[in-house]
Amino acid sequence: MPAAEVYSELNIKKLNPKKPNTKMTKTQLKSIYEAESKGLFYFANTYVKDSDKAKDIVQSAFIKLWENRSRVENPKAFLKKSIVNISLNTIRTDKNRAAREQFYIDEERLNEINIENFSSKNTKVTKLLNQLSEDIRKTIILKCVNELKYTEIAEELGVPVNTVKSRLKVGYRKMREGVSML
């Protein structure tokens, strides 16, 4: 059955707008998949720029279509909107994951530089630490030298945990920039 016929069969809004589409069968879904999956793959790939993720997004969109088949009036529009939403969520998740990973990588790098030993041997690092604001310097020392947890640092300084994380992120960035200039 051509895709146009499938859409006309599935788009029952014209016939009875209050009646949900409960007539979608697996065969119709398969027909829609065969007709649209390749185009939807390219559409998703324009967002995520990763063919594996694009395939997963298309698969998720078709699963979502099947799960919502009783409420879907226009499968093609539903699939495109689903592709956009799932793609944007994937991008947002990937950006958040990358930011978290970078934060922890920065923390690990700074922890590799044992500040106690290094500062006594290397006045340049001591100068870098002294160039930081007092709040950031205290936070870094409590984390790297005293090896306190975020919550313990927050209690010690009387600030929220997210403030501790922000200070560490800024401090690590400034230290990394300063070290790269050495």
Percent of the chain with pLDDT over 70: 72
Q: Quick one: average pLDDT of 58-73?
A: 91
CATH level 2 (architecture), domain 113-181: Orthogonal Bundle (1.10)
Locate 15 and state its tokens.
């016939």
Average pLDDT, stretch 37-44?
Answer: 92
Instruction: Check residue 143 and give its pLDDT.
Output: 86
Top-level CATH class of 3-97? mainly alpha
Question: Mean of the pLDDT values across residues 141-157?
Answer: 86
What's the average model confidence in pLDDT over 53-71?
Answer: 92
Report pTM.
Answer: 0.47
Quote the pLDDT of residue 22. 57
User: pLDDT higher for 54 or 12?
Assistant: 54
Question: What are all long-range contacts of 53-59, with beta carbons under 8 Å and residues at least 24 apart?
Answer: 53/90, 57/83, 57/86, 57/87, 57/90, 58/83
Average pLDDT over every residue of 18-37: 79
| For residues 21-45, average pLDDT | 87
Q: Which of 36, 170, 156, 25 is nearest to 103 (CA)?
A: 170
Give the distance, in angstroms, between the CA of residue 158 and the centroid of all CA atoms in the same chain: 31
Other Cβ atoms less than 10 A from the Cβ of 159: the count is 15
Mean of pLDDT values over 142-160: 87
pLDDT at 156: 86
Q: Domain segments of the chain: what residues?
A: 3-97, 113-181
Same fold, 3-97 and 113-181: no
For residues 40-59, give the mean pLDDT: 91
pLDDT at position 160? 93
pLDDT band at 64 (very low <50, low <70, confident <90, very high): very high
Give pLDDT tens digits for 82-131.
999 999 888 888 887 777 666 665 565 555 555 555 545 457 767 788 88
* pLDDT averaged over every residue in the chain: 78
Angle at 81 between CA 80 and CA 87, to 5 degrees: 90
